[in-house]
Amino acid sequence: MSPGGAAALSRPVSQQVALLWLKSLMSPKSRRTVMTSLDGSAHRLLGSGPVNRPCWIRPRAAGAAHVSPRDGPSPVKTRVPGVHVAMTITLWVSGLLPLVTRGFPPKSHLICTVPRGVFSAIASASRQHSSDAKVRSYLHYLRRKIKPPPSPPYSHVCQVGDPVLRGCAEAVDPREIRGPEVQKVIGTLVKVMRRLECVGLSAPQIGVPLRILALEFPERAVLDVPPAGREARGLTPVELRVFVNPQLRVLDSRTASFMEACESISGFSACVARYLSVEVSGLNEMAEPVTWQASGWPARILQHEMDHLDGVLYVDRMDSRTFTNVNWAEHND
């Protein structure tokens, strides 16, 4: 490999892109001059490549007399018009590309591309590489300046790690159930549940820490399961049911263990033991008192959603040896 090829491989990707753009704008003669200079000074500033001085600042030989422009032609190569400006633009572009594509660049790029006045502010942001720091691209930052982030109730399901999933939900004032705010939560809860085709969802899962849950197990979903599986799990169709301030009572203390999944722990499942039969009582979406007894799979759904209202996830009750990534086979394919 030639020295020029080795120097090119040592450049950061952003600088390579900037150099290709610069080369397309310059004549062949100017291109050779600035590329020779960039391999020296720009690489020295960026911490890589040979340490050569640009041709227009090469020092005089020892003992050589100083010759001013008025006395005659300069003994060193004269500056190519526009090359200095083009090099400055190139260095700035090579530093700004990571800002747009990845958020903030490493400190080594910041040192040579960011003016002294704003370096401290950006450098402090680049040091925030802890586990809870969320790095966003510059385009995402601009989008959030135009359109603010969504607020609860979300149209998506919160994922494990969100504090709302670990808190104890608050009871709803019965007088407010028919009000617009609670009705909006219930409507969003049902809409998200049906869009994701899940059989149950609780208000904390859409970012609202209220004791509200909904479940629905349509007949078509039951028919998708083979008859042997329906009988073993106790699958029965369930019409849409909404419970506000629900209270659970165990009717049959015997348990059965089956695999469970959760939209808040997307992509995983595990074996969880649940009671065979339970009774739930509370208020419906019209603030009317309701009581429902469930057994088999509907009872499992109820217990799963009731756990969400108390900040409990199925991973807290699972058999840890059965914890499974549902896409594990695809990773080996």
Catalytic sites, residue numbers: 305
Tokens of 50: 């040979």
Distance of CA 282 to the CA centre of its chain: 37
Contact predicate 74/83, CB 8 Å: no
Q: What is the dihedral of CA 315, 243, 253, 231, to 10 degrees?
A: -80
**Long-range contacts of residues 194-203, Cβ cutoff 8 Å, at least 24 apart:** 196/157, 196/263, 197/221, 198/263, 199/238, 199/301, 200/301, 200/302, 200/304, 200/305, 201/157, 201/263, 201/305, 202/169, 202/305, 202/308, 202/309, 203/153, 203/169, 203/309
Length of the chain counted residue by residue: 333
Residues 6+ apart with CB under 8 A from 142: none
330 — alpha (psi -120 to 50), left (phi > 0) or beta?
Answer: alpha
Strand 268-283 and strand 324-325: the pairing is: antiparallel
Is residue 26 helix, strand or coil?
Answer: coil
